[in-house]
Amino acid sequence: MRIIVLVKEVPDTYGSRTLDLQTGLADRDASERVLDEIGERAIEFAVSSAEQHPGTEVVLLSAGPDSVPATLRKGLAMGASRAVHVRDDGMRGADLTLTAEALARAIERIGFDLVVAGNLSTDGSGGVVPAMVAQWLGVPHATNLDAAGIEDGTVSGERASDGGVLRLSAPLPAVLSITERLPDPRFPHFTGIMAAKRKPFETLGLADLGVDAGADTPRSVVLAVNERPARAAGVKIVDDGDAGTRIAEFLVQNRLA
């Protein structure tokens, strides 16, 4: 069995987060770049599953800039078998449609039984890439799982809903995404860190995947970006019998109603 884990390099959650006002893109040099925590949990699920199913290969897949390989090495130190990096200038500022297409084409090239991802990244927070990848691949997907497992060629799990808990299952090949309710990731030990330096690492471009970043398929663009205004003083309304009217006027004036 081969499990592919989709991971992402993101700005440190505890660091400064800003937008480049010229490009509208996240300023990734404003803080340290790290492996997204939800991606670490996805790796933990994949590696734990591989330990329970001998002969399973865990492949890390990520799209991003030149700094990504250093981030992927952490996942390799956790126990993944090898890593694939999609690196192309055409991916700079890629929207969800281009990202999902490139990842899906890379997955097809690698070959897979199961694709595992986090439910959403901590930078973009789109939360739709796993489902979009599944659509490109033409396989079932089970998303936002709070618990998951693999048994007898089937992946199954539980998803919380307003009415209770949904139990889902799908035959392999499939795509699943997990939430932070899954177990914490393991810490890479010294042996794993040293072994990660020798594990296979492949870099692919969009041409290798047959993806045209300038195709007519939907691609979103940023039309304008502005710095967040400084917080202004609030408005205090004292009820003299007309508070309801004044609140309504305030909401209308600020286009909140």
The DSSP secondary structure of 222-239, one letter per residue, reads -----PPPPPPPP-----
Q: What integer pLDDT is reported at residue 201 of this predicted model?
A: 96
Q: Distance of CA 190 to CAs 57, 69, 187, 193, 216, Å?
A: 21, 19, 10, 5, 48
Q: What integer pLDDT is reported at residue 228 of this predicted model?
A: 77
pLDDT in tens, 180-206: 999 899 999 899 999 999 999 999 999
Domains of the chain: 2-209 (3.40.50.620)
Chunk the chain into consecutive blocks of 10 residues (it has 257) and report each block's average pLDDT, rounded to whole numbers.
95 75 72 89 96 96 93 95 94 87 97 95 86 96 94 93 91 95 91 94 95 71 78 84 90 85
Three-state DSSP state, 60: strand
What does pTM read for this prediction?
0.84
